[in-house]
A and B are shown apart, each in its own frame.
Chain A
Amino acid sequence: MSPIHEQGERFVQPTVPTYNPSVSDDTPRHLLDFRGIYRAFGRLKVLRNVNGQARDGELLLITGANGSGKSTLLRCLAGLMRPQKGRITCVQNGKDLRLEARRRQVGFLSPDVAFYSELSTLENLELFAKLRGVEPARGGQLLDRLGLPRNRRAGALSSGMRQRLRWAFALLHEPKILLLDEPLQNLDAPGRRDVCELLENHLTDGLAIVANPDPMDLPRVDHHVELAS
């Protein structure tokens, strides 16, 4: 685990090879690279010159105190928010994804993601499967894999079950790029074990960027970005 870059006043020298699209020796199948990301809300500068990268099979961990901009960074990477400065390069299966495609093809998990409380877990996943053009049966398979009841209304789930449903939503379309904001939040020990296993499986072919306030018990960490508050 080695820090790439630290935001704010302190700066840590890069200690892992840094991807530079113009001089890259090999083209990765999957890549998420962000350079000079800047985002402010009014006068509050949340992200200032943040850099990082993950390639095939790599996990990039983003840590930082509350309010340091981890969720904002992940929203920018997912295409749910535009950075005011900086560049994001997203390659999946060798194809450079533009904003609209990136938004629809990455797997995104965040505590802010909620589901239709009037619909059951299965109905929710079937809806998103239809919207993404995925076989609706995939939703049921993921619910079984994550130990979730199929017919319980999303509004009646416990916080841990909601987190499992977020995992199911993120993995529904079998994305190669996973963006996970506090992925172990509210999960019990078996739940953590299950999702760590899923993450490990994902990393055999894809990449993941994980944001959490503290370094946590992950299958592995290849790069680390620490955001200063």
Chain B
Amino acid sequence: MLSWLAETLAVLAKEWRCELRTRYALSTVGLFALSTLFMVSLSLGPMGSSSELRPVLPVFLWVILLFAASAGLPRAFVHEEESGTADPLRLSATPSAVFCGKALYNLSLLLLLEAFITPFFIGMLALPIASPVNFAIALLAGGIGLAVGSTLIAAMVAQAQVRGPLFAVLAFPILLPLLKIVVDASLGAVLGSPVDMALALAFLYDSMVTVASLMLFPVVWNP
């Protein structure tokens, strides 16, 4: 167990070390999210001040996060395969440690993005949030599901010959239920209505996708 944890942390540290030296995912994800956010806020203005239009805004936030994640997270495995580093990794680490290390990296990247983009979103669209704690929990639950789901999809995409459209095709059925749940939870937090059920469903989804990913990943990763 300790060696598995050490392997997972070694993969996570490697991902961040490589990322901080290239800043590929940080700049891709950050710039995409920021430009989309500015486009939305410039087009719609302080829409949050209108109580009728307010329920639409959490949808925009999750669309921004989803597309930003789609721009940066699939690289996790594609880059390994394309650069030839996947084989040494296969030869050296247990598959579950590789998956967990990569998923933790994607999660930390996504949480960083959420922490960076959400205050801007709330401020620029003048969105009042009735229950900030529930809103933060919804962001966390959505982040976990997006990160773990995207990591598994990225691993599948990396094995394919035609990679371009595959992420979107696979992400649609896997991530759509999660997005519906977290949009409901975020909306509840904005309006101050009960969100216990939506948050419970979001964490249930996270648990299911994590268990399924850990079971599927060795098959996807190994020949």
Contacts and interface: CB of A to CB of B under 8 A. Distances in A.
A114 B85 contact: yes
A151 to B, nearest CB: 14
A104 B87 contact: no
Interface string A95-116: 0000010011010101011111
B22 A169 contact: no
A83 to B, nearest CB: 10
A169 B84 CA distance: 14
Nearest to A172: B92
Nearest to A111: B84
A123 interface: yes
Interface of B: prevailing SS: helix
B83 interface: yes
A78 interface: yes
A31 to B, nearest CB: 20
Nearest to B18: A118
A131 B10 contact: yes
B14 interface: yes
Nearest to A110: B87
Interface in A97-145: 100, 103-104, 106, 108, 110, 112-119, 123, 127-128, 130-133
Contact of B83 (A100, A104, A114): A114
B176 interface: no
Contacts of A103: 90-91, 222
B165 interface: no
A82 interface: yes
Contacts of A115: 85, 88
B156 to A, nearest CB: 18
A154 B89 CA distance: 16
B223 interface: yes
Nearest to B98: A131
A133 B97 CA distance: 13
B87 A80 contact: yes
Contacts of B90: 80, 103
A161 to B, nearest CB: 16
Interface in B1-28: 3, 6-7, 10-11, 14, 17-18, 21-22
B93 interface: yes
B14 A114 contact: no
Nearest to A114: B84
Interface string A144-175: 00000000000000000000000001000000
Contact of A119 (B14, B87, B91, B222): B14
Contacts of B97: 131
Contacts of B18: 116, 118-119
B17 A113 contact: no
Interface of B: 3, 6-7, 10-11, 14, 17-18, 21-22, 83-85, 87-94, 97, 222-223
10 contacts: A81-B223, A103-B222, A106-B91, A114-B84, A116-B18, A118-B18, A119-B18, A132-B92, A133-B3, A133-B6
